[in-house]
Chains A and B, each alone.
Chain A
């Protein structure tokens, strides 16, 4: 009817409770305890972002523009570290399901494949291991091509070479764990080299010279290959040895050396640049 004011229809309305991440960060006690810097879009706050975060603070606050370029570093070193972290995560998950004994090892791997629909944890770990070999090689390649190993960075290059060797040993020890034909024969071929170690392998040059009277000091039951395999051939003891080397011993050394490696980058003057 004309003249009559239309009653505003009462609309059903539902409002999500307002949540502002900014307010959470700046005003609540929880937010303030987690993040130790403000929310401003300025260099001071960006600096604090790096300085107050344990992961970011591996970096300095500022870097040379040339050194921040993807075209200069190829991100290969940082990526190697990231790949390592993904391998730690997927490796720990695999450890929940894997028992390093001859009775169970292969069946556990089969079970993981058969019982987990769309499971890709083993794939993530295996392909990640290959990827880490490639990224580490690539990192070394880049450092060489830019001459970044030169003083004052010589020692860090040496640490890097050791990390390179350990990366391959990590991959090598992990290769045995599925306990299939591929695994034991690859490790058999690889570890057969050890029996030819000069003086320390029973088929190595000079080993027959090491004897006390008639007693051979180096024989197939006492040489480096035996120490590595825990037996005369790749067997149950080898599986346990490689498992512990792969999951505990080598990663520990790698983490320690990575700490030194990253720390030395900073101490040696950051990402290299022309003098």
Chain B
């Protein structure tokens, strides 16, 4: 029974299916938040997660990965963030109901009232600090910090992994070259986070949990955080083994697992497979299709959406904010798009100029 379950999970799991399933679940949650924040739904989700985890722990391989000292915080983080995402959305749905009924929000009802910081706030902080200290001491007593053999530059472990909070970026390396996955996209993440308050700057929805009035922003943020950051960390940490090959959660990391690599560049698709000619010699001719595609990707949605779906949004944002917003938006979604292009067409690079390391 359990063996069959494990085989089923292993068979189901590959980057494509996990990513697609997560996106589908996320879409459902965002479409029906009121259902997902209800207590029964939360109990079912919690039961399924804990159940999967409990069954998983009976598996030797799963247990090894999950209880690796440096992986324990990730497991903790998943449960903490799962709970608090649910908690925040639950408050948001409650406030949405109150707004619809013309009542003040939970926060508004108490915002006029003031309490003395000492003792009311100081005590909350004190208890939180005490609670954290206890957890930390227990955690430190029961789990030793990892220490492997002394550093040896001539023996590289397989797989070599960055610290866990950067594994989302390392996982991106599968789909993008280092200059994009390791430099450009992190820069965009930082700049994009900084830009949030200058794009979404309506103070009316500030200071309380809400969903309906801020749907666009919250969905984008949660998608970025849960799917493009946390999910990639999960895949990178728990499901990537030797040679960065993908392994199911109950699959032993086999160093000799063979995965066919047959990724093809866009220029090959266009010139060799479609037109039946050889690749042009000059790189700017060879990569012309890629450049055209990229220009279209970053240009067409900006102009088309401005006149149609995003018309009102464009008018409220103004040209500068709108263009910055669209560039960040399109850059963010270039990652899942590239992932699906890789999975569906084995597309390696859209633009490939190895002459000066410019591969997209």
Q: Which residue of chain A is the closest to B112 with respect to CB atoms?
A: A64
The list of the 7 closest CB pairs from A to B, nearest first, reads A193-B182, A123-B140, A196-B178, A154-B197, A130-B73, A272-B207, A196-B179
Binds B, one of A15-23, A176-184, A241-249, A250-258: A176-184
Chain A, interface size category, equals 35 or more
Task: Give the docked Cα–Cα distance between A107 and B73 (Å).
Answer: 26
B140-183 to A contact mask, C-beta < 8 Å, 1/0: 11011111111111011100111101100110000001110111
Task: Give the docked Cα–Cα distance between A235 and B162 (Å).
Answer: 17
CB-contact partner of A196 in B111, B132, B165, B183, under 8 A:
B183
A262 within 8 A of B: no
Binds B, one of A1-9, A27-35, A164-172: A164-172
- Output the least CB separation between B175 and chain A (Å): 15
Residues of B within 8 A of A (CB): 70, 73, 76-77, 80-81, 84-85, 87-88, 91-92, 104-122, 124-125, 128-129, 132-133, 136-137, 139-141, 143-153, 155-157, 160-163, 165-166, 169-170, 177-179, 181-184, 190, 193-194, 196-198, 200-210, 214, 218, 221, 225, 353, 356-358
Q: Which residue of chain A is the closest to B202 with respect to CB atoms?
A: A150
A209 within 8 A of B: yes
Pairwise interchain contact B170-A189, C-beta atoms closer than 8 A: yes
Pairwise interchain contact A205-B356, C-beta atoms closer than 8 A: yes
Please judge, given known A-B contacts A72-B107, A273-B107, whether A86 and B136 are in contact too, CB under 8 Å: yes
- Output the least CB separation between B93 and chain A (Å): 12
A115 within 8 A of B: no
CB-contact partner of B114 in A59, A65, A126, A192, under 8 A:
A65
Pairwise interchain contact A274-B136, C-beta atoms closer than 8 A: no
Q: Would you mind naming 10 contact pairs between A and B with Cβ atoms under 8 Å apart?
A: A46-B116, A46-B118, A127-B145, A131-B132, A134-B76, A138-B80, A180-B147, A181-B149, A181-B157, A205-B358
CB-contact partner of A134 in B70, B80, B119, B358, under 8 A:
B80
* Interface positions of A from 88 to 138, Cβ below 8 Å from B: 102, 106, 109-110, 113, 118, 120, 122-124, 126-128, 130-131, 133-134, 137-138
Q: Which residue of chain B is the closest to A107 with respect to CB atoms?
A: B150
Q: With a CB–CB cut-off of 8 A, which chain B residues contact A221?
A: none
CB-contact partner of B184 in A138, A161, A198, A208, under 8 A:
A198
Pairwise interchain contact A145-B136, C-beta atoms closer than 8 A: no
Q: With a CB–CB cut-off of 8 A, which chain B residues contact A83?
A: 132
- Output the least CB separation between B321 and chain A (Å): 13
Pairwise interchain contact A161-B110, C-beta atoms closer than 8 A: no
CB-contact partner of B153 in A69, A145, A184, under 8 A:
A184
Pairwise interchain contact A196-B80, C-beta atoms closer than 8 A: no
A191-206 to B contact mask, C-beta < 8 Å, 1/0: 0111111100101111
Pairwise interchain contact A145-B88, C-beta atoms closer than 8 A: yes
Q: With a CB–CB cut-off of 8 A, which chain B residues contact A102?
A: 151
- Output the least CB separation between A84 and chain B (Å): 12
